[in-house]
Amino acid sequence: MQPILSTALNVVLMIVGFGLVIVVHEFGHFAAARWAGVRVHTFAVGFGSAIATWRKGMGFRWGSSEKEYFRRAREEGEACAVSPTEYRLNWFPFGGYVKMLGQEDLSPIPTMTASDSFAAKPVWKRMVIMSGGVFMNLVLAGVLFVAAYLHGIQEVAPIIGDVGPGTPAEAAGLRAGDRVLSIDGGEATTFNDLRLAAAMGSPRTPIHLTVARDGEAGPVEIDVTPRVGAEGMLQIGVAPSASAWLVSEKDLKSDSLRDEYRRQLQEAGLGSVQPGMRLIRVNGAAIPEGTGEPTGAPTANMLRAAMEASGGEAVSAVFADESGREVEVSLLAQPELQSGQIKAGEATLGVRHLLGLAPVMRVSATQERGEKAGLLPGDVFARIGRVEWPSVASGIAEVRANRGKTLDVVVVRDGVHVPLKVSVSSDGLIGFLTGDTSAEDTRIGSVDGLMPTGSAGGVETFAAARLNPGLLPGSRVVAVNGAAVANFRELRAALVRATARGEAPDVMLTLALPMNDASGAPVREQVSLSLTGEDVAGLHALGWDATQTMLCFDLAKFLDRAKTPWDALTKGVEKTHYVVMMTYVTFLRLFQGTVPVDQLHGPVGITHIGSQVAEQGFVYLIFFLGLISANLAVINFLPLPIVDGGHMVFLAIEGLTKKPVSAAVQNVSIIAGLLIVGTVFVVVTYHDLVRLFG
């Protein structure tokens, strides 16, 4: 019951906060109208009929005081001492509105000619009134950001922790441990800056990064061109760095998440270590206290570096809890595999493989949708849709190709083939975290269309792809030149031994096919794999991978807090400017097609995200509302007739031509604006609901 009440409270806080942002916007119009001498009939918080009102000269009332005011105004005339402005609280507190004499939001031509009406004021004053809401939203955003920075916000450091196989980042030469100093000449303060720069970039224009790299005397300059990833957004394929602390149980909100995390620790060789413990020594050397700037706190980069340089040997790691109790474990890095890529619609997906041999996709952990479909952690996919024994990339591609549909899958569970029907969301998800079988066996997954990383064409240059006929997906490599192998670690070691002289020999693979003979034993066959000098060189250049271990650590974060009130003000202004510019860029990229419509959020999505943000603490809700306020300022100033920006366009035309835009033109424009805004609202709300319940 407690989590439900907490979630409900967070939703209420977000709704109230969102309403407050809109009320402040309307207050901007109200204050500007009063400054300009325009009579304001109503300043309302919320919509619908009034709960309570207050009017100078009449005081507090339950319900509206309009009828009584107009009666007294008629009876008393100019002697009436009651204020014309009613301040009201309405039943539906989702925003608010201002009602001025001679101007209403849906009335294209103001008809009142009284001296204190909106229409009677010069164009420049009406422009001030119309821009008052946007101005107040920018001011509110700045104030909220200042408040957040005075308290301090936990941000993810701009340090690269993992570079995905077959990604633009890998092709450009980015490495785990690189600290991003600047992006296109601008300072990089958080990892989100890098994500946004990629998402808001262009698939034809590289992003210029300046990074600090261990072992390099000075900064390293790198150009990387983003491309469409599995989520449909432009990305470069990097993940943030790990801190020196394992994920704490308090950050795991449910029993299922805690169980999944403990299973993850077990698979990484950290089963005897408790969540939340801190890494203090690696191979006897203490973790430096000051590593990982700008975090100002230790990271797990020393462990990652030691595991990657281990040559496959065990690495000693010592962890400690808050009481000082220490636990020592021996950790093994996973063998690094080669990287390639396949196309999945407009997206390009990375593939881990050995000479074209890729492991099969499995379920690493399940989410709610996957659990409902019957998936369990450890399930190996024998089929997804039309793809037999899919690799991770081909499995993702098939799922994404069936967005919004029901998909037939078959999983292998405890040696038994289990058929399931899974529902694919509109985002192309079926509710599980992907893994592969490389640590468990040598089963070969489907990788149709496998290309070298960075290749624009479909030329298949890997040894396994040159076999004719090709290898049957689901086959297991049981021996290399007669030496038995049980997993991809042993497979790689056997292939390296078989090519130890650096020559390009033919390697004999013994395969167990995914079918049985008359006795019930798997059918076996031998194939000769012809290697080139390039194949051998690529095989011997492979190192060791610590990703599985690094995923157990919390992200490297730092407290972004202003040192002085002036510093907080500077940060607040800079953040407001940054959010405004990024919002404009988002609209530009939306029209260019590099940002999908389904990535936008409407009121439902904003409320859902805001309620999740509120779980992190009140200061994060304040920061999020600052983002909303800055975005609302931009949206309201777009040149659409239904919002303030459209009214500003009409006023600008009136100022230039000395006469207002005709009622017919304004009416058509307003209808068009309503259709545009209404369509966008329906679309984003649909995607919000699909994300929540689809």
pLDDT tens-digit series, residues 596-609 = 666 666 666 666 66
How many whole angstroms separate alpha carbon 582 and alpha carbon 539? 43
Each as own residue / partner, the long-range contacts of residues 209-212 (CB below 8 Å, 24 or more positions apart, any chain) are 209/174, 209/180, 209/182, 209/183, 210/180, 210/181, 210/182, 211/160, 211/174, 211/178, 211/179, 211/180, 211/181, 212/178, 212/179, 212/181
At 5 the pLDDT is: 46
Closest of 393, 454, 452 to residue 223, by C-alpha: 454
pLDDT tens digit sequence for 430-454: 888 888 998 889 999 998 888 777 6
Q: In this model, does residue 163 exceed pLDDT 80? A: yes
Q: What angle do CA 32, 34, 35 make, to 5 degrees?
A: 60
Tell me the CATH number of domain 243-335+549-555, given options 3.30.70, 1.10.1220, 1.10.3470, 2.30.42.
Answer: 2.30.42
Taking the CB of residue 681, how many other CB atoms lie within 10 A of it? 12
Bigger pLDDT: 73 vs 546? 546
Averaged confidence pLDDT in the chain: 83
How many whole angstroms separate alpha carbon 574 and alpha carbon 378? 47
Q: In this model, does residue 592 exceed pLDDT 60? A: yes
pLDDT tens digit sequence for 464-520: 888 878 889 999 999 999 999 999 999 999 999 988 876 667 889 999 988 887 777
Q: What angle do CA 49, 50, 54 make, to 5 degrees?
A: 155
Highest average pLDDT, of 81-85, 175-179, 408-412, comes from 408-412
If you count them, how many residues does the chain have? Answer: 694
Q: In this model, does residue 1 exceed pLDDT 60? A: no
Residue 452 identity: P
Residue 682, C-beta contacts closer than 8 angstroms, at least 6 positions apart: none
The sheet carrying 86-100 orders its strands as: 59-62, 40-55, 86-100
Closest of 271, 274, 199 to residue 234, by C-alpha: 199
Q: In this model, does residue 457 exceed pLDDT 80? A: no
Q: In this model, does residue 688 exceed pLDDT 60? A: no
What DSSP character marks residue 247? P
How many whole angstroms separate alpha carbon 373 and alpha carbon 369? 6
Q: How would you classify residue 85: left for phi > 0, otherwise alpha for psi between -120 and 50, otherwise beta?
A: beta
CATH entry 2.30.42.10 includes domain 156-240: yes
At 2 the pLDDT is: 45
How many whole angstroms separate alpha carbon 430 and alpha carbon 462? 31
Pair type for strands 59-62 and 361-366? unpaired
How many whole angstroms separate alpha carbon 572 and alpha carbon 409? 50
Taking the CB of residue 612, how many other CB atoms lie within 10 A of it? 15
Q: In this model, does residue 291 exceed pLDDT 50? A: no
How many whole angstroms separate alpha carbon 68 and alpha carbon 51? 16
At 606 the pLDDT is: 62
At 569 the pLDDT is: 86
**CATH code of the domain occupying 360-436:** 2.30.42.10
At 382 the pLDDT is: 94
Same fold yes or no, 156-240 and 360-436:
yes
For 40-85, what is the HEC assignment?
Answer: EEEEEEEEEEEEEEEECCCEEEECCCHHHHHHHHHHHHHHCCCCCC
For 149-176, what is the HEC assignment?
Answer: HHHCEEEECCEEEEECCCCHHHHHCCCC
Signed CA dihedral, 388, 389, 391, 395: sign only: positive
- Model confidence at 278, pLDDT cuts 50, 70, 90, reads very high
Q: In this model, does residue 659 exceed pLDDT 50? A: yes
- Report percent pLDDT > 90 for the chain: 24
Hey, which residues does 480 pair with through a beta bridge?
483, 509
pLDDT tens digit sequence for 189-222: 888 888 888 888 888 889 999 998 877 888 999 9
Domain coordinates of the chain in residue numbers? 104-151+565-694, 156-240, 243-335+549-555, 360-436
